[in-house]
Amino acid sequence: MNTASSETALSLIQSLETRMVANPFSPSVARLASLYLDEDRFEDARVLCEEGIARYPDYATAHLVLGQCYLGLQRMSDARREFCEALNLQPQCELARTLLREMTPTTTVDLPMETAVAEDWVQVSPKHSADEIVTPTLAEIYADQGAYQEAIRTYKLLVHRKPEERERFGQRIRQLEEIWRLLTPPS
C-alpha cells in the first residue's frame, strides 16, 4: 500500500470514527471495520463488529467482516460460524462462501462416514448400537469443530432415540446439511 492511499484510508477511518462517536447506532460499523481490517487492526475491527451485531443481529455484512477478523486472529471456529451466519442471512453472498470453502480443508479432520448425508436422516447405520454417546451438547461440540458429518450423525442418533424431539433436531440437521453441502465441492 503506498503512502498516499494509506493516508486517505486513515482520514476515512477518522471521519467514520467521528461519525460513530456522534451516532453509536450508525450502521457504518461494517465499513469502518473493514477499513480496520485493511490495516490489520483485527482486534479493533472485532470489537466494533461484535458491538454492531449486538445492535443489529441480522446485519449480514457485519457477520462477514467479523468472520474475516476472526480469520485474522486465527479463531477458525468463530470465523466459520460468522460466515455461515452471513450466508444464512444472505444466501447469495459469494465472498462468505469462498472464504468458508477455503478455510475448511485446513481446519477439519475429514471423517469417512457410513451414511451419506443426503439420506433420510432418521436412518442410522446399525453399526452404531444403542450405547453410543449422544447429547445435543456433543453434537454442537462437533459442529464447532467443523466436523459437520459427526454433528449430523449425532443428531440423527438423537432423533432415533428421542422421536418426540424430531422436529427440533430435524431443523438443526437441515441447517448443518446445508452448510455441509456448501462446503463440499461438486464432484
Partner 1 sequence: MVLILYFFALLTLLLFGVQGFVMVYYHFKNRNEEETADPALLVFPPVTVQLPIYNEIYVVERLIKAACRIEYPKENLEIQVLDDSTDETTTVVARIVEEMVACGFDIKHIQRGTREGYKAGALREGLKTARGEFIAIFDADFVPREDFLRRTMPYFFLDEKIGMVQTRWEHLNTEYSLLTRAQAMALDGHFVIEQAVRNRAGFFINFNGTGGIWRKACIEDAGNWHDDTLTEDLDLSYRAQLRGWRFKFLRNVTSPAELPSEINALKTQQFRWTKGAIETAKKILPLVWRSNLPLRIKLQSTFHLTNNVVFPFILLAGILNVPLVYVKNHGGYETYFALMSIFVVAFIGSLLFYTFSQKEIYPDWRRRLFLFPLFMAGSMGFAVNNTKAVIEGLISKKREFVRTPKYAIEKKGDAWTNKKYVPTRLSFTSLIEFLLALYCFFGVLSSLYFSEIAAVPFQLLFCLGFGFVSFLSFKHAWTARQLRVIRDK
Residues that bind partner 1 (CB under 8 A): 42-43, 73-78, 106-111, 130-135, 137-138, 141, 144-147, 150, 161
Beta carbon of residue 115, minimum distance to partner 1 (angstroms, whole number): 17
- Shortest CB 63 distance to partner 1, Å: 18
Q: Which is nearer to partner 1, 145 or 175 (CB)?
A: 145
CB neighbourhood size of 49 (10 A): 29
Question: C-beta of 149: minimal distance to partner 1 in Å?
Answer: 11
H or E segment to which residue 2 belongs: none
Nearer CB in complex with partner 1: 32/151: 151
Q: Is 36 exposed, middle or buried (0-12, 13-18, 19+ CB in 10 A)?
A: buried
Nearer to partner 1, 2 or 74 (CB): 74
Q: Judged by CB, which is closer to partner 1: 31, or 166? A: 166
CA dist 97 → 94, 135, 184 (Å): 5, 29, 11
Q: Is the dihedral of CA 164, 167, 172, 173 positive or negative?
A: positive
